[in-house]
Amino acid sequence: MELQPILDRIGAAMAGAADRGRVADYIPELARASTVPFGMAVVTADGRAHATGDARVPFSIQSVSKVFTLAIALGRLGDQLWTRVGREPSGLAFNSMIQLEHENGIPRNPFINAGALVVTDAILSGHAPREVLGEILRFLREAAGDDDIHINRAVAASEQATGHRNLALAHFMAAHGNLVNPPELTCGTYFHQCAIEMSCMQLARAGRFLIGGGATGPRLVSPARVRRINALMMTCGHYDGSGDFAFRVDLPGKSGVGGGILVIAPGRASIAVWSPGLNEQGNSKLGTEAVEWLAREAGWSVFG
Protein backbone atom coordinates (compact mmCIF):
# COMPACT_ATOMS: atom_id res chain seq x y z
CA MET A 1 0.00 0.00 0.00
CA GLU A 2 1.25 3.46 -0.89
CA LEU A 3 0.49 5.90 1.91
CA GLN A 4 1.60 9.11 0.21
CA PRO A 5 -1.11 9.14 -2.47
CA ILE A 6 -3.75 8.57 0.20
CA LEU A 7 -2.38 11.43 2.26
CA ASP A 8 -2.27 13.64 -0.83
CA ARG A 9 -5.93 12.97 -1.58
CA ILE A 10 -6.92 13.61 2.02
CA GLY A 11 -4.85 16.82 2.14
CA ALA A 12 -6.42 18.12 -1.06
CA ALA A 13 -9.95 17.33 0.09
CA MET A 14 -9.45 18.89 3.51
CA ALA A 15 -7.88 22.03 2.05
CA GLY A 16 -11.11 22.57 0.15
CA ALA A 17 -13.59 21.53 2.83
CA ALA A 18 -16.33 24.09 3.40
CA ASP A 19 -17.46 23.25 6.94
CA ARG A 20 -14.29 23.47 9.01
CA GLY A 21 -15.75 23.54 12.56
CA ARG A 22 -15.36 26.26 15.16
CA VAL A 23 -12.23 27.34 16.97
CA ALA A 24 -12.34 26.94 20.77
CA ASP A 25 -13.14 30.31 22.29
CA TYR A 26 -12.37 29.97 25.98
CA ILE A 27 -8.59 30.47 25.73
CA PRO A 28 -8.10 33.94 24.22
CA GLU A 29 -4.81 33.12 22.48
CA LEU A 30 -6.39 30.09 20.79
CA ALA A 31 -9.63 31.89 19.96
CA ARG A 32 -7.70 34.00 17.47
CA ALA A 33 -6.63 30.94 15.48
CA SER A 34 -7.72 30.49 11.88
CA THR A 35 -9.58 27.38 10.73
CA VAL A 36 -7.66 27.40 7.45
CA PRO A 37 -4.67 25.22 8.36
CA PHE A 38 -4.74 21.47 7.89
CA GLY A 39 -1.77 19.17 8.31
CA MET A 40 -1.23 15.45 8.74
CA ALA A 41 1.80 13.24 9.27
CA VAL A 42 2.20 9.48 9.47
CA VAL A 43 5.24 7.61 10.75
CA THR A 44 5.04 3.89 10.14
CA ALA A 45 6.47 1.13 12.33
CA ASP A 46 9.54 0.91 10.11
CA GLY A 47 10.26 4.58 10.76
CA ARG A 48 9.28 6.04 7.40
CA ALA A 49 7.45 9.38 7.49
CA HIS A 50 4.76 10.79 5.20
CA ALA A 51 3.03 14.13 5.39
CA THR A 52 0.55 16.46 3.76
CA GLY A 53 -0.49 20.07 4.19
CA ASP A 54 0.72 22.11 7.14
CA ALA A 55 2.47 19.15 8.70
CA ARG A 56 5.51 21.16 9.72
CA VAL A 57 3.71 24.12 11.29
CA PRO A 58 3.88 24.07 15.10
CA PHE A 59 0.57 24.27 16.96
CA SER A 60 -0.55 24.17 20.60
CA ILE A 61 -0.77 20.48 21.51
CA GLN A 62 -2.94 21.20 24.57
CA SER A 63 -4.53 17.97 25.89
CA VAL A 64 -2.47 15.74 23.60
CA SER A 65 0.23 16.46 26.18
CA LYS A 66 -1.75 14.32 28.63
CA VAL A 67 -0.61 11.15 26.88
CA PHE A 68 3.02 12.01 27.50
CA THR A 69 2.61 13.15 31.12
CA LEU A 70 0.70 9.92 31.77
CA ALA A 71 3.63 7.93 30.37
CA ILE A 72 6.04 9.88 32.57
CA ALA A 73 3.86 9.50 35.68
CA LEU A 74 3.41 5.75 35.14
CA GLY A 75 7.16 5.45 34.70
CA ARG A 76 7.74 7.17 37.99
CA LEU A 77 4.87 5.92 40.18
CA GLY A 78 3.77 2.72 38.43
CA ASP A 79 0.36 1.36 39.31
CA GLN A 80 0.26 3.47 42.45
CA LEU A 81 -1.02 6.26 40.22
CA TRP A 82 -4.35 4.43 39.96
CA THR A 83 -5.14 5.11 43.60
CA ARG A 84 -5.55 8.77 42.66
CA VAL A 85 -7.25 8.55 39.26
CA GLY A 86 -9.61 6.03 37.63
CA ARG A 87 -9.65 4.36 34.23
CA GLU A 88 -13.27 4.74 33.19
CA PRO A 89 -14.83 6.93 30.49
CA SER A 90 -16.45 9.93 32.11
CA GLY A 91 -19.76 10.30 30.32
CA LEU A 92 -19.56 14.03 30.93
CA ALA A 93 -17.87 17.12 29.55
CA PHE A 94 -14.09 17.31 29.80
CA ASN A 95 -14.13 19.87 32.59
CA SER A 96 -17.13 18.73 34.60
CA MET A 97 -17.14 19.06 38.39
CA ILE A 98 -20.16 16.82 38.85
CA GLN A 99 -18.37 13.52 38.61
CA LEU A 100 -15.66 14.74 40.98
CA GLU A 101 -18.28 15.51 43.59
CA HIS A 102 -19.99 12.14 43.21
CA GLU A 103 -16.70 10.28 43.49
CA ASN A 104 -15.04 12.27 46.27
CA GLY A 105 -12.35 13.98 44.31
CA ILE A 106 -11.07 10.97 42.34
CA PRO A 107 -11.22 11.83 38.62
CA ARG A 108 -12.56 9.08 36.38
CA ASN A 109 -9.54 8.93 34.05
CA PRO A 110 -6.24 10.69 33.34
CA PHE A 111 -7.49 12.38 30.15
CA ILE A 112 -10.27 14.58 31.52
CA ASN A 113 -8.90 17.82 32.95
CA ALA A 114 -9.21 16.81 36.59
CA GLY A 115 -7.37 13.56 35.92
CA ALA A 116 -4.63 15.30 33.97
CA LEU A 117 -4.17 17.73 36.85
CA VAL A 118 -3.67 14.79 39.21
CA VAL A 119 -1.10 13.28 36.82
CA THR A 120 0.80 16.57 36.60
CA ASP A 121 0.53 16.96 40.38
CA ALA A 122 2.02 13.48 40.78
CA ILE A 123 4.99 14.30 38.55
CA LEU A 124 5.44 17.68 40.21
CA SER A 125 5.63 16.26 43.71
CA GLY A 126 8.71 17.63 45.40
CA HIS A 127 10.08 19.39 42.33
CA ALA A 128 9.95 22.92 41.00
CA PRO A 129 7.56 23.50 38.08
CA ARG A 130 10.52 24.58 35.97
CA GLU A 131 12.26 21.22 36.51
CA VAL A 132 9.14 19.23 35.71
CA LEU A 133 8.42 21.19 32.55
CA GLY A 134 12.03 20.56 31.58
CA GLU A 135 11.51 16.84 32.07
CA ILE A 136 8.34 16.84 29.96
CA LEU A 137 10.15 18.68 27.17
CA ARG A 138 13.09 16.27 27.38
CA PHE A 139 10.72 13.31 27.10
CA LEU A 140 9.03 14.82 24.06
CA ARG A 141 12.30 15.78 22.39
CA GLU A 142 13.75 12.33 22.88
CA ALA A 143 10.53 10.66 21.70
CA ALA A 144 10.41 12.85 18.61
CA GLY A 145 14.15 12.80 18.06
CA ASP A 146 13.93 16.56 17.66
CA ASP A 147 15.14 19.26 20.05
CA ASP A 148 13.12 22.04 18.53
CA ILE A 149 10.07 21.66 20.80
CA HIS A 150 9.13 24.56 23.06
CA ILE A 151 6.49 26.12 25.26
CA ASN A 152 4.56 29.12 23.92
CA ARG A 153 4.66 31.52 26.87
CA ALA A 154 1.89 33.75 25.52
CA VAL A 155 -0.50 30.80 25.33
CA ALA A 156 0.50 29.65 28.82
CA ALA A 157 -0.14 33.14 30.18
CA SER A 158 -3.48 33.27 28.41
CA GLU A 159 -4.56 29.96 29.94
CA GLN A 160 -3.40 31.10 33.35
CA ALA A 161 -5.45 34.27 33.11
CA THR A 162 -8.62 32.40 32.22
CA GLY A 163 -8.01 29.14 34.03
CA HIS A 164 -10.63 29.55 36.75
CA ARG A 165 -12.33 26.29 35.89
CA ASN A 166 -9.12 24.28 36.20
CA LEU A 167 -8.32 26.08 39.45
CA ALA A 168 -11.79 25.15 40.66
CA LEU A 169 -11.10 21.50 39.83
CA ALA A 170 -7.71 21.65 41.54
CA HIS A 171 -9.05 23.30 44.72
CA PHE A 172 -11.88 20.79 44.80
CA MET A 173 -9.43 17.88 44.64
CA ALA A 174 -7.26 19.59 47.26
CA ALA A 175 -10.33 19.75 49.49
CA HIS A 176 -10.59 15.96 49.08
CA GLY A 177 -6.90 15.42 49.78
CA ASN A 178 -6.15 14.34 46.22
CA LEU A 179 -3.62 17.08 45.44
CA VAL A 180 -0.09 17.13 46.81
CA ASN A 181 1.00 20.60 45.68
CA PRO A 182 -0.73 23.98 46.07
CA PRO A 183 -3.44 24.30 43.37
CA GLU A 184 -1.74 27.36 41.85
CA LEU A 185 1.50 25.41 41.38
CA THR A 186 -0.11 22.35 39.84
CA CYS A 187 -2.33 24.46 37.57
CA GLY A 188 0.58 26.68 36.56
CA THR A 189 2.61 23.65 35.51
CA TYR A 190 -0.40 22.20 33.70
CA PHE A 191 -1.08 25.43 31.80
CA HIS A 192 2.52 25.45 30.56
CA GLN A 193 2.44 21.77 29.58
CA CYS A 194 -0.70 22.43 27.51
CA ALA A 195 1.05 25.35 25.80
CA ILE A 196 3.79 23.16 24.30
CA GLU A 197 3.94 23.57 20.55
CA MET A 198 4.71 20.80 18.10
CA SER A 199 4.13 20.17 14.42
CA CYS A 200 2.27 17.13 13.09
CA MET A 201 5.58 15.67 12.00
CA GLN A 202 7.07 16.09 15.46
CA LEU A 203 3.97 14.71 17.15
CA ALA A 204 3.73 11.66 14.88
CA ARG A 205 7.39 10.92 15.56
CA ALA A 206 6.92 11.46 19.29
CA GLY A 207 4.07 8.92 19.21
CA ARG A 208 6.22 6.10 17.83
CA PHE A 209 6.78 4.62 21.28
CA LEU A 210 3.07 3.83 21.42
CA ILE A 211 3.02 1.77 18.18
CA GLY A 212 4.41 -1.30 19.95
CA GLY A 213 5.28 -4.55 18.18
CA GLY A 214 8.90 -3.81 17.45
CA ALA A 215 8.43 -0.42 15.82
CA THR A 216 11.62 1.56 15.36
CA GLY A 217 12.32 4.62 17.49
CA PRO A 218 13.15 5.08 21.17
CA ARG A 219 11.74 2.45 23.53
CA LEU A 220 10.50 4.75 26.31
CA VAL A 221 7.81 2.58 27.86
CA SER A 222 7.39 -1.18 28.34
CA PRO A 223 5.16 -3.09 25.87
CA ALA A 224 2.57 -3.89 28.54
CA ARG A 225 2.32 -0.23 29.48
CA VAL A 226 2.07 0.79 25.82
CA ARG A 227 -0.99 -1.42 25.43
CA ARG A 228 -2.57 0.08 28.53
CA ILE A 229 -2.01 3.65 27.42
CA ASN A 230 -3.57 2.72 24.09
CA ALA A 231 -6.55 1.18 25.88
CA LEU A 232 -7.08 4.43 27.79
CA MET A 233 -6.82 6.46 24.58
CA MET A 234 -9.41 4.14 23.04
CA THR A 235 -12.00 4.44 25.81
CA CYS A 236 -11.28 7.93 27.14
CA GLY A 237 -9.23 9.86 24.57
CA HIS A 238 -11.94 12.11 23.17
CA TYR A 239 -13.88 13.21 26.25
CA ASP A 240 -17.58 12.66 25.71
CA GLY A 241 -16.97 11.80 22.04
CA SER A 242 -14.71 8.82 22.84
CA GLY A 243 -17.32 6.23 21.92
CA ASP A 244 -18.08 7.94 18.66
CA PHE A 245 -14.39 8.20 17.72
CA ALA A 246 -13.87 4.51 18.48
CA PHE A 247 -16.99 3.68 16.49
CA ARG A 248 -15.89 5.67 13.45
CA VAL A 249 -12.11 5.33 13.46
CA ASP A 250 -11.48 2.02 15.27
CA LEU A 251 -8.15 3.35 16.57
CA PRO A 252 -6.99 4.80 19.90
CA GLY A 253 -6.38 8.54 19.87
CA LYS A 254 -6.06 11.64 22.01
CA SER A 255 -7.28 15.04 20.92
CA GLY A 256 -6.44 18.55 22.06
CA VAL A 257 -8.51 21.72 22.02
CA GLY A 258 -5.86 23.33 19.76
CA GLY A 259 -7.10 21.06 16.96
CA GLY A 260 -4.45 18.36 17.15
CA ILE A 261 -5.05 14.61 17.44
CA LEU A 262 -2.51 11.86 18.02
CA VAL A 263 -3.76 8.50 16.75
CA ILE A 264 -2.05 5.12 17.04
CA ALA A 265 -2.51 2.22 14.63
CA PRO A 266 -1.02 -0.48 16.87
CA GLY A 267 1.83 -2.32 15.19
CA ARG A 268 1.46 -0.10 12.14
CA ALA A 269 1.85 3.62 12.56
CA SER A 270 1.73 6.80 14.62
CA ILE A 271 -0.50 9.47 13.09
CA ALA A 272 -0.76 13.18 13.89
CA VAL A 273 -3.34 15.50 12.40
CA TRP A 274 -4.11 19.17 13.00
CA SER A 275 -6.89 21.54 12.06
CA PRO A 276 -8.05 24.14 14.60
CA GLY A 277 -11.82 23.99 13.90
CA LEU A 278 -13.61 21.73 16.39
CA ASN A 279 -16.76 19.62 16.21
CA GLU A 280 -19.50 19.57 18.85
CA GLN A 281 -17.57 17.26 21.16
CA GLY A 282 -14.59 19.63 21.12
CA ASN A 283 -12.39 17.49 18.87
CA SER A 284 -10.85 18.64 15.56
CA LYS A 285 -13.56 18.33 12.92
CA LEU A 286 -11.41 17.89 9.82
CA GLY A 287 -8.82 16.03 11.86
CA THR A 288 -11.35 13.38 12.86
CA GLU A 289 -12.60 13.07 9.29
CA ALA A 290 -9.06 12.79 7.94
CA VAL A 291 -8.10 10.05 10.37
CA GLU A 292 -11.30 8.15 9.67
CA TRP A 293 -10.53 8.34 5.94
CA LEU A 294 -6.91 7.25 6.36
CA ALA A 295 -7.84 4.34 8.64
CA ARG A 296 -10.40 3.09 6.14
CA GLU A 297 -8.15 3.36 3.11
CA ALA A 298 -5.12 1.92 4.88
CA GLY A 299 -7.26 -0.82 6.38
CA TRP A 300 -6.03 0.04 9.86
CA SER A 301 -8.44 -1.03 12.57
CA VAL A 302 -7.79 -2.61 15.91
CA PHE A 303 -10.85 -4.75 15.22
CA GLY A 304 -9.38 -6.68 12.23
Q: Which residues are annotated as a binding site?
A: 63, 113, 159, 166, 190, 239, 257
- The three-point CA angle 85-90-93 to 5° equals 115
Q: Which amino acids are annotated as binding site for substrate, given as ranges?
A: 63, 113, 159, 166, 190, 239, 257
Active-site residue, 257 included: yes
Q: In what order do the strands lie in the sheet with 39-44?
A: 49-53, 39-44, 269-274, 260-265, 253-255
Shortest separation between residue 296's beta carbon and a copy of itself, angstroms? 9
**Least distance (Å) between residue 25 CB and a copy of itself:** 13
CB neighbourhood size of 92 (10 A): 16
Q: Does 303 bind a copy of itself (CB under 8 A)?
A: yes
Distances in Å between the Cα of 208 and the Cα atoms of 6, 146, 199, 244, 287 are 20, 13, 15, 24, 19
Residue of 58, 217, 266, 276 interacting with a copy of itself (CB under 8 A): 266
- Which of these is catalytic: 64, 66, 242, 273? 66
Binding to a copy of itself by residue 22, rule CB under 8 A?
no
Using the rule CB under 8 A, give the single segment among 123-131, 136-144, 160-168, 282-290 that binds a copy of itself.
160-168
Residue 302 CB: number of other CB atoms within 10 A?
18
157 lies in the site for a copy of itself, by CB under 8 A: no
Q: Nearest-CA neighbor of 83 among 91, 71, 74?
A: 74
| Whether 66 is catalytic | yes
Q: Are 241 and 279 in contact, with CB atoms under 8 Å apart?
A: yes
172 part of the interface to a copy of itself, by CB under 8 A = yes
Q: Give the whole-angstrom CA distance, residue 211 versus residue 214.
A: 8
Query: What x/- string results for residues 240 through 259 when contact with a copy of itself is judged by CB under 8 A?
Result: xxxxx-xx--x-x-------
137 contacts 146 by C-beta, under 8 angstroms: no
276 is a contact residue toward a copy of itself (CB under 8 A):
no
For 124-153, b/e burial (b = at least 16 CB within 10 A) is beeeebeebbeebbebbbebbeeeebebbe
Is residue 26 part of the annotated active site? The answer reads no
Known active-site residue 63:
yes
Q: Which of 156, 165, 115, 166 is nearest to 133 (CA)?
A: 156
273 counts as catalytic: no
Residues 77-136 that bind a copy of itself (CB under 8 A): 86-92, 96-102, 108-109
Binding segment for a copy of itself (CB under 8 A), chosen from 27-35, 58-66, 117-125, 264-272, is 264-272
Stretch that binds a copy of itself, among 129-137, 141-149, 195-203, 207-215 (CB under 8 A): 207-215
* Long-range pairs of 77-86 with CB within 8 A, sequence gap ≥ 24: 77/122, 81/110, 81/119, 81/122, 84/118, 84/122, 84/178, 85/109, 85/110, 85/115, 85/118, 85/119, 86/115
Toward a copy of itself, which CB reaches closer, 114 or 155? 114
Q: Of the candidates 49, 231, 292, 297, which one interacts with a copy of itself according to CB under 8 A? A: 231
Catalytic residue ranges:
63, 66, 190, 239, 257
The residue ranges that bind a copy of itself (CB under 8 A) are 86-92, 96-102, 108-109, 164-165, 167-172, 174-175, 183, 211-213, 226-228, 230-232, 234-236, 240-244, 246-247, 250, 252, 264, 266-267, 301-304
